[in-house]
Amino acid sequence: MRHTKLHQNGGDDMKALIMAGGEGTRLRPLTCDRPKPMVDFLGKPLLQYSLELLKKHGISEVGMTLLFMGEKIRSFFGDGSEMGMNIRYFPEKEPMGTAGSVKNAESFLDERFLVLSGDALSDLDIGSALESHMKSKAPVTIILKKVENPLEYGIALLNGENRITEFFEKPAWSEVFSDAVNTGSYIIEPEILSYIPKNRPFDFSKDLFPLLLKNGIPLNGHITQSYWCDVGNTEAYIRALGDALSGKVQLTPNAAVKNGLFIGKDVKISPSAVLQAPCYIGSGSIIENFARIGEGSVIGENVFIGQGANIKKSYVGSASSLMENVKLSRAVLCGNNHIGKEARILENAVVGSGTHIASSAVILPCARIWPEKWIESGSVVRKNIVWGFGNRSDFFHENGIFGEFGSEIEAADILKAGAVLAKHSESCILGHDGLAQSKYLMELFASGYIGTGKRVCLAGETLPPVLEAKKEADSIGHALYFKTEGSELSIESMFGSTLARQLSRDHKNGTFPMPMRLGEKTYADSLHESYLSSLPKGYFPFVLAEKNTPAAMLLASFAEKQKPLFSVNIGKDAKTGFLKHADAELGGDLLITAIFETALTLFGAKPQKVFLDTPSSALQLIKRFGADYSLSAKPSESTRMLRDFPYFVLCFAKRLTKDSLSLSEYIALLPKSRRFTAELACEWRDIGKVIAKVAENNGQTELSRGLRIKKDGAEILLCAGALRPSIRLISEAASFEAAQESARELSQEIRKILSE
């Protein structure tokens, strides 16, 4: 393929900006420990090929936009001097969109510039694109590529002069009017930057280009004949590797090429091993007797392939060991993995780095295993493994079951969960949010529960507080509320930490009763009556809620024309909300403090059940009342108020009238603070070490299920993330700025500990 030097077209020198902020969510677990542009590709980071392409065309002044794990990119490429280039970096604090990230580099872009995506693989003829740009006299040239299936891309319609007249983002087949798709590469004159707003997200395809068309500014479309592939998922990654090996794209990999075999330095290959061209063997790798490396396969550096292993169109990351008779078929293995003898990893399966797959284990098609897992000998992995060391050790949480249905939680898990709970509960009541998937999962759970001979009551579509009230009225063991948002599943229930740990162990180990007889299934009646009878009588607030929602109708059913102490904005699940009157507003963390104050004033100084993240201002208030508090205390009136907003509203109305207070007068009496929350990624195995080290480094500490630190006027809570491998950090101080600064300082300390 012809590659044209820029000066041959009479064009001025041109800068380049590479968008390298991609997180690579669809490429996980390949991208769990690195940004998407740093994914390994034939012995180099994918991003390096973009830099080599620019250098080939004489472009040496390069900027890079950074976001996710940007320091890994900066530390690898440095200032670019080793490649004969000058690289500047433009980090973003938050996602600013494709055009917004370019705007962030405006100080660098003082002349015509080329924009490339660091996520794509291409041997773009930049000279030809520049020639098209200069002839068109348009301030923007969008580089397009004709593809067979344009559904996953933005498509463009061109007129006879190669002017773009219309865009369409990710069309359906009925909406496809062109096969020319946007490659994410552009040549832009600097005056176009004035159309991009500062400090807010702005996208090229969705925002900037439609704006330019609306203002009559011409957009040139250049259809390239060069290779281009958006490496957006693992299937595209495997395909791009095969294309590179077969010569469809012009690259310079870290290996010598002979007869279609890419062989690195110091490779040891047994005479009886079979290598089918094209394939790639990285430096320092060992291929044992009778092993077979099929066409399209890529073996990274310092990899051991054992006797009789069979690798078909797969990628094996560096420093991995595959023992005897291992079989891989169109699979992706990240680096530093150990695969035991006779294990099989099948089509489109992906194994994260640092994973041990024991002998004879089978990873079925499309399963994804996150980093640092241990798969037992003989195991059959059918689904994604994200949690723990192969099994999610904390399936049940103290407040319920949470996760992504179809990925982290499957139908069989719900059925089993019902049977597991039945071991610890004689009866339960189940309700849902009205969505078909929630109803299906509720009935699935019920089947597991009654399969053990226990009694279950189905409440159908309802609200969490109503379900809890029915549980109390009928002396039912547990109430579970099923809620789905997209693929995210929540099964809310007050298990408590002790029972949740036991349930998780039983769920993991399969220790639940075998069916002896079918239990009883009943259907709840008089739900609202049970709830309304549980509410306090007295003053009722003015109701302000979205019309025709279940939560609004529930609150309106007991609201009467009484003294308007405040207005109420209630959440659709009736669990949360805020109060307002004149200029006073009660919500957020201050609302939690008000809940405890109301309960202690109306019901006396009883021991209070608190939670790990209860604000310290609320804890101080409880002490001021002379009451005790703990994580394991029995539920009390405050516990219900935290989960049942209408109940709190009515109790709070009584609280105000008791001392003839307005809402603003009441708020003035409460202790106040501001909180800032952050979450830092941290492997499960490192969380305990980090928290212990922070405790050692800091003086005043309170260590229980979390670590509380009092420092520089702030109180900071450190605890493990509930649903992902992370450390949660909650900083509380007199001002939001002080809380944020304390959190920032402690975050730096944690990152330093993790780097040691």
Parse the chain into domains and list their residue ranges.
Answer: 6-230, 254-381, 400-528, 535-669, 674-755
Quick one: angle between helices 411-422 and 497-509, nearest 10?
A: 120
pLDDT in tens, 86-113: 999 999 888 888 899 999 999 999 999 9
User: Which CATH number applies to 254-381: 3.20.20.70, 2.70.180.20, 3.90.45.10, 2.160.10.10?
Assistant: 2.160.10.10
CA 414 centroid distance within chain: 22
Cβ–Cβ < 8 Å for 24, 33: no
Measured distance CA(737)–CA(365) in Å, rounded: 49
Rg (CA), the chain: 31
Q: Which of 230, 235, 210 is nearest to 147 (CA)?
A: 230
* Alpha-carbon span 323 to 308, nearest angstrom: 9
Contacts 24+ apart (CB under 8 A), 296-299: 296/238, 296/241, 296/242, 296/245, 296/246, 298/42, 298/241, 298/245
Give the 3-state secondary structure of residue 697.
helix
Beta-bridge partner residues of 107:
none
Could you list the mean pLDDT of each consecutive 10-residue stretch along the chain, which spans 756 residues?
Answer: 43 80 79 85 89 92 89 88 91 87 91 91 91 91 80 70 74 52 90 91 87 90 90 84 86 80 91 92 92 92 92 91 92 89 91 85 89 78 69 73 72 90 92 93 93 91 92 92 86 84 80 63 86 71 55 59 68 85 85 92 88 86 89 80 88 87 89 86 71 76 69 84 75 89 87 79
Query: What is the CATH code of the structural domain delimited by 400-528?
Result: 3.40.120.10
In a 3-state reduction of DSSP, which class is residue 130? helix
Q: How high is the pLDDT of residue 613?
A: 83
Q: Are strands 61-66 and 15-19 parallel, antiparallel or unpaired?
A: parallel
CA–CA separation, 69 vs 533, rounded Å? Answer: 55
Cis peptide preceding 29, ω within 30 of 0: yes
With a CB cutoff of 8 Å and minimum separation 6, the contacts of 155 are 167, 168, 171, 176, 177, 178, 179, 180, 181, 182
Positive or negative: CA dihedral 719, 724, 725, 728: negative
Decide if 87 contacts 105 (C-beta within 8 A).
Answer: no
- What per-residue confidence (pLDDT) applies to 372? 81
Superfamily of domain 6-230: Spore Coat Polysaccharide Biosynthesis Protein SpsA; Chain A (3.90.550.10)
Angstrom distance (rounded) from CA 551 to CA 285:
64
pLDDT in tens, 499-553: 888 888 888 766 555 555 678 899 988 888 888 888 876 545 444 455 556 666 6
What would you measure as the largest C-alpha separation in the chain, in angstroms? 93
User: What residues are paired with 481 via a beta bridge?
Assistant: 431, 492
Q: Class of 674-755 per CATH? A: alpha beta
What is the pLDDT, as a whole number, of residue 558?
53
547: CB partners within 8 A, 6+ apart: none
Q: For residue 435, what are its two tokens?
A: 């969505």
pLDDT score of 17 = 94
Phi, psi at 386, each rounded to 5°: -110, -35
H helix runs in 586-662, sequence order? 588-603, 616-624, 637-643, 645-658
